[in-house]
Structure 1
Amino acid sequence: MKRQIILDTETTGLYPDQGDRLIEFAGVEMIDRRFTGNNLHLYVNPERDIAEEAVAVHGITLDKLTEMNAPLFARVGGQIADFLRDAELVIHNAPFDVGFLNMEFGRMGLPSITNVAANVVDTLKMAREMYPGQKNSLDALCTRLDVDRSKRVLHGALIDCELLGEVYLAMTRNQFSLVDELMGTSDSSILSADGQRSAPLVGHPPLLVVAPSADDMAAHEAYLTDLDKIVEGACVWRGTGRHEGAEHTS
């Protein structure tokens, strides 16, 4: 079972080493490439002003956080660390979010992301390798990969996680398509010559395995004999085990 957390944060600014703080955290859980609904979404009181440039991006003001009685990070940091523990984190521009989480965890004396999570996948790095020379923002990837972002007006950690999850699945679909197909098994199966059914395969008609007849085996042996004459010895097919296995089957 592979547990992944699609993760995003919103902050007061760009620089965790210069006093900027985290104001929103979202994590969307996937297990074996399927969304589980076990998500974590929190707003956080940053104990400082929020830069106007940041508000223009995510729309979160200090007044809004005060109205919703958002907790200090010190109250929810342990909950976030527990949620992330031993998971693979999928983040777009991972150094940014990891930098803020490490700063906030450090304030509480908690371990860094490296010690909390199993590892980190940076989808921005992946995208730059897959689509060199192209725009690889989350919006650009949604457009390129046909991910619907019509509900996204401003940047928000939760909606961005949901979009990034779809983008990540689309970017990695070729790697996992066969696994996904086999995991979604239905009632199709492999049928052997004796009528026994094995584990089902989704989306495929039953496959019939037919043993060669005596005439087939005789023709095969004659062909190998001709090859022996050509190479003036035993042809390579007699040493692979395939021919001996075929004779044993008959």
Structure 2
Amino acid sequence: MRQIILDTETTGLEPSQGHRIIEIAGLEMVNRKMTGRHLHVYIHPDRDIDPDAERVHGISLDFLADKPRFAAVASDVEAFLRDAELIIHNAPFDVGFLNAEFQRVGVPPVAQLCAGVIDTLAMARDQFPGKRNNLDALCDRFDIDRSNRTLHGALIDCELLAEVYLSMTRGQESLAMDIDLDDGTNQDGGALHFERKPLRVVLPSAEELAAHEASLDALDKAVKGVCLWRRGTESQAGSGA
């Protein structure tokens, strides 16, 4: 399965209020292995950046002065995300911004473009109810090194989120066994037949039999008669006579 670990940075919190994406990063993962393919672009938003947002990600409008508008990179973003399953921490936030940007340039929304969305924040809340589940807290919980993360940046956050996601889903791989077809097993699509080895029977020693008999004698004495286990033995012996 092709998955994209994705993160964005924005000018503010609400796309409905005209806030825009200023950074997009995505890392490609196929069958739980990072492929090395990635997307990382900075985008000029054509508007101011809220001071609170800038304090979080450290991206200024001056830094973005020579960066492309979203329309110029939309086709690259669309191609990279198409048909992939997205893995996002607090997915409604990023998906809302992506859909707003896509709508401006005529790209289909995430629900049509992608194979699905996994929200790792929702996953974390299910696994660790009542605990802090932001990315920093999850890195600490899974002992993931985040020493290089001084500010929120989309690319470093994707790298950390990939490790967090793999840690949270470890053990969910397929339980199907890999069968080596080079060792004489059926390769024509028919049913595979395995020969069951006979069970090894270990008989008790004379000392073990004597100890067992002594235990039954003690039980007979305790119940002042024949104990249940000795009755079963006698019944089996009788049926075989």
Do the two structures share a fold, i.e. TM-score over 0.5? yes
Q: Equivalent residues in 2 for 1:23-172 (5 A)?
A: 23-66=22-65, 69-172=66-169
Question: Larger Rg: 1 or 2?
Answer: 2
Give the Cα–Cα distance (whole angstroms) in 2 for the partners of residues 116 and 104 of structure 1: 13
**CA offset at residue 83 of structure 1?**
0.5
Structure 1, residues 34-63: CA drift from partner, whole Å, max 9, x if none?
000100000000011111101100000000
1:78 deviates by 1.5
- TM-score of the pair, normalised by structure 1: 0.72
In structure 1, distance between residues paired with 2:184 and 2:169: 32
Partners of 1:56 and 1:177 in 2: CA distance: 43
| Aligned-residue identity in percent | 58
d(CA) in 2 for partners of 1:210, 1:114: 50
Between the aligned partners of 1:122 and 1:104, the Cα distance in structure 2 is: 20
The counterpart of 1:211, out of the listed 197, 221, 231, is 197
Q: Distance in 1 between matches of 2:48 and 2:86?
A: 29
How far the C-alpha of 1:211 sits from its partner, in A, is 2.7
Cα distance in 2 for residues equivalent to 1:178 and 1:147: 26
Measured after TM superposition, the shift of residue 146 of structure 1 is 1.0
Q: Tell me, in whole angstroms, the C-alpha distance in 2 between the residues paired with 1:91 and 1:107.
A: 22
Q: What are structure 2's unaligned runs of at least 5 residues?
A: 186-194, 202-234, 237-241
Higher helix share: 1
Deviation of 1:212 after TM superposition, in Å, equals 2.1
Q: Distance in 2 between matches of 1:98 and 1:150?
A: 28
Query: In the aligned structure 2, how far is the partner of 1:133 from the partner of 1:72?
Result: 40
**Cα deviation digits, residues 69-124 of structure 1 (max 9, x gap):** 21000000111011000000000000000000000000011110000000000000
Give aligned pairs, total: 197
Name the TM-score, length of structure 2 as normaliser: 0.75
RMSD: 2.8
